[in-house]
Amino acid sequence: MLVCAPSSFAASDVQRVKYKIGPFKVIPGQNEIGYAPIVEKPQVDGYITRIKPDLTYTNGKVPGVDIIHLHHGVWVNLSGQAATSGLPELFFAAGEEKTIVEMPKGYGYPYRTTDRWLLNHMIHNLTPVPAEVYMTYEIDFIPASSPAAKKIRPVRPIWMDVMNGQLYPVFNVRKGAGRGGKYTFPDDARDPYGGGPKRNEWVVDRDGVLVGTGGHLHPGGLHTDLWLRRPGARIRPARCGARATAAARRSCRREAPRGRGSKAHLFRSKAKYFEPAGAVSWDVAMTASPENWKVKVRKGDVLSTTATYDTRRAAWWESMGIMVTYMANGGPGRDPFKKRVDFRGRPTHGHLPENNNHGARPTQMPDPRKLPDGPENPGLVDILDFKYRLGDLSLPRSSGGLPPVVRRGQSLLFRNGDNAERVYHSITSCKAPCNRSTGIAYPIADGPVQFESNTLGAGRRAVPPATGSLEWKTPSNLKPGTYTYFCRIHPFMRGAFRVKR
């Protein structure tokens, strides 16, 4: 989920090795958090300077992101301790965007053969077809016995998360929320932490230098930001001199620190969308800090992060905002209250071919607004075998394909009947007719009237993101009309219901 610029050691000093984790037997519709030991890893002590993640079938082919993708994978060092939470050390992570992490020259993450590693994974199967996959990771590794290792400064990961410490660190972004079509968490949220500690902040525990960072967002995300507050410090205004040349004044302004008051802006990790439709899909790469991004921090400084999403087009349920940062105990760096540090980063990769199916092509599914009424006041809509048993747009009219009807002021009850197979579902409003082909950019939660069931799943074996409930009712205050919806977990599932006077 983050990054710096490429390493620059001699080829003989660096070993590039690819490892596999798994195989994982992915059940139909899978979308839950799991854990797996990481067995394949270096056989000698040394330093990791680059990590490139991927997800492949057992034959080595990369699945389309609209079929199976890595919702998240977090590499955990059970032999270490996370600086920001006291939990085991989280030293690398990847999501659908498959960010490549590269340390700047002279820095590396220290590895010992005695380290015990674990993968926290959430492999998302968007289809009802089982599969078998590997999680892969390619690393650049410098053995401790190499002459280059003597020039390496060790770094430790500083895991910054707007919901740090949560097993499933997500928040919801409603369509139209925030200001000017943008919503920043936690700034625009009402009581985001329930009166408890600010999960997006960390008090720096020692003097040091931040050497690299980058962000992780879900579709709809625009950027994450890293900030530093220093009690008693103030941003030093630019004094460029009236008699200086125009070029000198421009250089002076360029070097002036950014922020306000005692809060300095360190970096903005932007989402670079290759998606033609804009910020609505996984066809994205995050920008990461440049090679010379090195920020001096002091013990007692307060590091914080925020995440900003676009809210003009859709709602974004179960969103994330994470910035993993690497910190060295010493070395050169800039004081962010005296010199600017938040220069523009660069994407860690280009468009990936597994993101080629954007969706939104015409299909044979009907326009539910033109269908006759289905059963009135049915009471219950079961979800079975990846279908809404009433109002599913893939069903024939005679077999439940007509939208069920409720009267104004009443609700329709949905129940997840696939829960016994560890399959979770949602009922998420989308803009009618919501009947085009499934892809990474379609459908989205763009209904003019928003409703959301969250992830329906319960029972002893249910794990996040399951909410613990199997049932959900539509809002009782809906105006007359035909309402369309889809399943966020399996977006090929589409349905409709109707409200009448």
- Please check whether residues 180 and 108 belong to one and the same domain: yes
Which pLDDT score, from 0 to 100, does residue 355 have?
98
Task: Please report where in the chains the tokens 């030093």 appear, as a residue.
Answer: 236
In angstroms, the CA 385 to CA 127 distance is 11
- 461-496 confidence digits (pLDDT tens): 778 899 999 999 999 999 999 999 999 999 999 999
Which pLDDT score, from 0 to 100, does residue 52 have?
97
Q: Please count the CA atoms within 13 angstroms of the CA of 341 that sit on its side-chain side.
A: 29
- Please check whether residues 376 and 337 belong to one and the same domain: no
Q: What is the number of domains present in the chain?
A: 2
- Please check whether residues 448 and 335 belong to one and the same domain: no
Angle, vertex CA 318, rays to CA 28 and CA 200, nearest 5: 135
Task: Please report where in the chains the tokens 């994978």 appear, as a residue.
Answer: 73
- Please check whether residues 206 and 83 belong to one and the same domain: yes
Tell whether 1 is covered by a domain.
no
Q: Which residue has the higher pLDDT, 462 or 376?
A: 376
**Domain endpoint, select from 302, 335, 355:** 355
Q: How large is the C-alpha radius of gyration of the chain? A: 25
- 220-253 confidence digits (pLDDT tens): 999 999 999 999 999 877 777 666 677 766 777 7
Q: Could you tell me the pLDDT band of residue 8, with boundaries at 50, 70 and 90?
A: very low
Tokens of 86: 């006291």
- Please check whether residues 161 and 310 belong to one and the same domain: yes
Tell whether 414 is covered by a domain.
yes
- Please check whether residues 336 and 461 belong to one and the same domain: no
Can you point out the beta strands (E) in 320-424? 321-328, 346-347, 380-384, 387-388, 405-407, 413-416
Tokens of 257: 């620190």
In angstroms, the CA 263 to CA 303 distance is 9
- Please check whether residues 368 and 467 belong to one and the same domain: yes
- Output the domain CATH number for residue 434: 2.60.40.420
Bridge partners (DSSP) listed for residue 101: 51
Which pLDDT score, from 0 to 100, does residue 7 have?
41
In angstroms, the CA 182 to CA 178 distance is 5
- Please check whether residues 102 and 21 belong to one and the same domain: yes
Average pLDDT, the chain: 94
Residues 6+ away with beta carbon under 8 Å from 194: none
Residue 459 has pLDDT above 90, yes or no: no
Tell whether 310 is covered by a domain.
yes
Residues 6+ away with beta carbon under 8 Å from 469: 454, 456, 458
Residues 6+ away with beta carbon under 8 Å from 240: 248, 249, 252, 253
- Please check whether residues 31 and 126 belong to one and the same domain: yes
Residues 6+ away with beta carbon under 8 Å from 61: none
Which pLDDT score, from 0 to 100, does residue 9 have?
43
- Please check whether residues 30 and 107 belong to one and the same domain: yes
Domain boundaries, position 78? 15-355
β-strand pairing of 471-473 with 88-95: unpaired
**Domain endpoint, select from 323, 355, 387:** 355
CA distances 378 to 19, 314, 429, Å, are 53, 30, 20
For the segment 280-308, the average pLDDT, to the nearest whole number, is 97
Q: Could you tell me the pLDDT band of residue 1, with boundaries at 50, 70 and 90?
A: very low
